[in-house]
Every structure is written in structure tokens, then in C-alpha cells.
Amino acid sequence: MPADQTPDPSGGDKISFRDVKAEIRRRIERRIWGPGDLVPGEIDLAEDFGCARATVNRAMRELTEEGLLERKRKAGTRVRAMPLRQARFEIPLVRAEITAMGAAYHYALLSTQTVPAPDWLRDRLGLRAGARALHLRCLHSADGRPYQFEDRWINLQALPQAETADFALQGPNEWLVQAVPYSEVEISFLAAAATVDVAAALGIEPGEPTFTAERTTWWQSRAITHVRLSFARGYRMTTRY
């Protein structure tokens, strides 16, 4: 049995949770169930659709996660008056992003240095005074054109093995993904004016609007890395939902 189906105890044609979702969505779209309306209970719907209660439960749960329904512990399930919108962005490795466009990926390490963590970084990562950090500057290119400039700091207290790793051939992001299997991330997107450093790396003018991501990563409650990614002129981050 495929993982996305629930057994139908009647033994007839299987009604999948996808069928139930589609039908509920249709009722909301057609205003058969209007904004704010109470939705019938799972038992009634299961009977109505001729399927298992678990099938209705999964459909309702996903429609709730998608922001169309609202479940209250004791007050039942309602159609959301204002559907909640949630956009999801996949954050691929830059190599995968570039090769997915059909372009040739090239990585270059511009500089690497072990230094005492500057104050702003110590604040950001919660490091003690005098803590050392590895500072890396890298350029990722697509078909020979600059695509993303990476300005990265790694906390050497948390990941001492980074100091002896060779980042000449492999980018620090790929190294980190292998060194740290799972992590908590805070990411921000902003529009920044290109600094002289960023402009030189990307081949743009200082001050040019630059799509920028700042990401801090924790593993087992310790900050391990902070990175500022500056994207080439014209970059757009797009998704559908």
C-alpha cells in the first residue's frame, strides 16, 4: 500500500486523503462552507465520504497546516476567516542551485584567516572574550560569472576541526553540512548596499542594491557559524504556494 493512503475498511474503491482534501477545498472555494463556518465532525464526514475516519483526520490536519482550517481543542474545526499564507523556500546548497539552472558551478576560496572573534560576532554567537573564529571569504560562480559572495565565520570552540580543514577545493557550507548532521537555523533576507568588498567580488558598483541573506546556525544549542551571502545583480528568490 502506498504510504499516502489509508485503508478503507469497506474494502471498496480506496478513497485517499487527497480525494478528501480536494473535496473539502472545493467546498471552501464554492462557499458551501463559508469563512468562519463550523465544519462537520470527522465521524460525519467519514460517513459522508465513505472512508475511514483516519483518512478524514489526515485531510483536515493538512488543510489546517496549510492555513485553510482552524482547529480548536473543544470548539471543533472552522473555516479560517482569513486564510493564513505560508511560503516555503528550499535552501539548497549553492552548487545544487547553480547546476539546477544548467550552469557550470565554480568555487573559489578568496581568503581564510583565524582571528579573535570581533565584538558583533561574539554578541551574535554568544562567544566569550578572546574566542577565536575562522573567517572565510568565498565566491561561487555560474558559467564563469559571479553568483554569490560568501562571507563566513566559524566558531572554533564548537568546531575546532574547521581550523585544519582544507577549504581550497570544497566550500565551507558543504563541509559544514557533512560535519553537522542537523542544526537550528535563523535566516534573514534583506536589501543591502554593496560594500566595496562585496562589489569587488561580484563585479558590481559599491552601493548597488544587493539581495542578501544572513544565516546563523546552532547545533546542540551552540552557535557554530554565521554567514552573510550577497547575490549577483538581478537575483530573485521565488516560490509558489
Interaction site with a copy of itself (CB under 8 A) = 2-3, 25, 28-29, 31, 35, 54, 57, 61, 68, 71, 73, 79, 82-93, 177-178, 181-182, 184-193, 208-212, 220, 234-241
Whether residue 139 contacts residue 209, with contact meaning beta carbons closer than 8 Å, is answered with no
Which are the contacts of 206, defined by CB distance < 8 A and separation ≥ 6?
Answer: 193, 194, 195, 196, 199
Q: Which is closer to a copy of itself, CB of 169 or CB of 191?
A: 191
CA distance 7 to 5: 7
Least Å from the CB of residue 114 to a copy of itself = 27
Least Å from the CB of residue 157 to a copy of itself = 19
Q: Which is closer to a copy of itself, CB of 36 or CB of 160?
A: 36
Least Å from the CB of residue 113 to a copy of itself = 27
Q: Which is closer to a copy of itself, CB of 160 or CB of 207?
A: 207
Whether residue 170 contacts residue 177, with contact meaning beta carbons closer than 8 Å, is answered with no
Q: Which is closer to a copy of itself, CB of 37 or CB of 132?
A: 37
Least Å from the CB of residue 31 to a copy of itself = 7
Q: Which is closer to a copy of itself, CB of 97 or CB of 132?
A: 97
DSSP one-letter code for 163: G
**Orientation angle between helical segments 42-49 and 53-65, nearest 10 degrees:** 110
Least Å from the CB of residue 156 to a copy of itself = 21
Q: Which residue reads 539546477 in cell numbers?
A: 100
Closest-CA residue to 223 (of 155, 131, 156, 152): 155
